[in-house]
Amino acid sequence: MKTALVTGAGRGIGRAIALRLAKDGFRVIVNYARDSAAAEEVVRLIGANAVAVRADLGVPEDVARLAERVADETDVLDVLVNNAGIGTSKPLVQETEEGYDRLFAVNVKGLFFLTRQVLPLIPDGGRIVNITSGVARIAFPEAIAYSMTKGAVQVFTLALAKELGPRGITVNNVAPGIIDTDVNAGWLRGNPEALAYAASRHALNRIGLPEEIANVVAFAASPEASFITGTTLDATGGGNL
């Protein structure tokens, strides 16, 4: 049985990815930062082929412990899904140094060093999938620092795909648009005007579902995607076309 690590898998898009990969036959290591009950629920839904591991990717010691735990759980990590991330909606003049540092610690530094530390476990022909965002290809001053982190991950993906290509390891981004998750619930759910605005940002005129992003990740992690690397699979529903 193949093994996948999904970071930030307790809720939202990460939860959907973990469930989809389990459906596809993977044993799933479910990483979470704080909500142990949500992560354990994902493990319960998957069954015996899942384990929950707490680690805050913004804390280097946690990143190291997560990598060690993955190595304890498996000798081979077939798929790494770097999904964990935090977001904020602040323009340049409102962003704080503390907020900026936290964004880059989780979204970029944690992702970078976790990937480096588990890379010895990833076999030839393995898969790395990074969850970025549609904001990386548009001007989005409302969340400038967040957008910068996703741009950094895209550059990381491009370089790593080149480095690992000779081993047949593919490295790709999946870029969601506005998705119906708990993160967006505060400004979307129960607010028809906000929901209409969010939908209007997409050519399909609706917001996306976590399962729709999970489907794209599952493709990127599959044998069918063996000749796709160093690119972004846009899952924004035609965002800002």
DSSP summary character for residue 109: I
In the annotation, is 100 catalytic? no
Task: Look at the block and give the residue holding tokens 């209409």.
Answer: 196
Look up residue 109 and give its amino acid.
Answer: K
Contact between 30 and 10 (Cβ < 8 Å): yes
Catalytic-labelled residue, pool 32, 100, 146, 197: 146
- Written as six digits, the tokens of 219 are 């493709």
The Cα 225–Cα 219 span in angstroms is 6
Using DSSP, state whether 126 is helix, strand or coil: coil
Give the residue from 206, 197, 217, 188 showing the smallest Cα distance to 7. 217
Using DSSP, state whether 90 is helix, strand or coil: coil
Contacts by 160-169, CB closer than 8 A, 24 or more apart: 160/115, 160/128, 161/229, 161/230, 161/231, 162/230, 164/128, 165/229, 165/230, 167/124, 167/125, 167/126, 168/124, 168/125, 168/126, 168/226, 169/122, 169/124, 169/125, 169/126, 169/127, 169/128
Catalytic residues: 146
